[in-house]
Amino acid sequence: MTEPQSEQDRSYQNNLRPEDQKKVDEFLSRGVNSVERKPFRPIRLLLLLMAVVIGFSLFSQYIPRWAGIY
C-alpha cells in the first residue's frame, strides 16, 4: 500500500516551465547571487558587539580622567 516516493511528496518537484526555470537559473547565477558567501555566525557578531560596547565604555571613563574632571 505504500505509494512511490514521487507520489507521496510533490513539494520538491519543479512546477516551472523550462523557459521560466532557465530565467531563474540565469538570475541566480549573476550579480549579488553569484557570490559564494561564508555562513552567518551570530556568536561572532555578538562577541564583536560586546567588544565594541566594552571598548566605548572604557573610553568614556578615560575621557574625564584625561580632562582632569575626576
Distance CA(35)–CA(57), nearest Å, equals: 37
pLDDT for residue 62: 94
- Tell me the residue length of the chain: 70
pLDDT for residue 47: 98
pLDDT for residue 57: 97
Domain ranges of the chain: 43-70
Retrieve residue 1's grid coordinates. Answer: 500500500
CA dihedral 36, 42, 47, 49 (to 10 degrees): 90
What confidence tens digit (pLDDT) does each residue in 2-54 have? 555 555 566 667 788 889 889 988 888 887 777 788 899 999 999 999 999 99
Q: What is each CA distance from 31 to 20, 26, 34, 35, 43, in whole angstroms?
A: 19, 10, 6, 7, 28
pLDDT for residue 9: 62
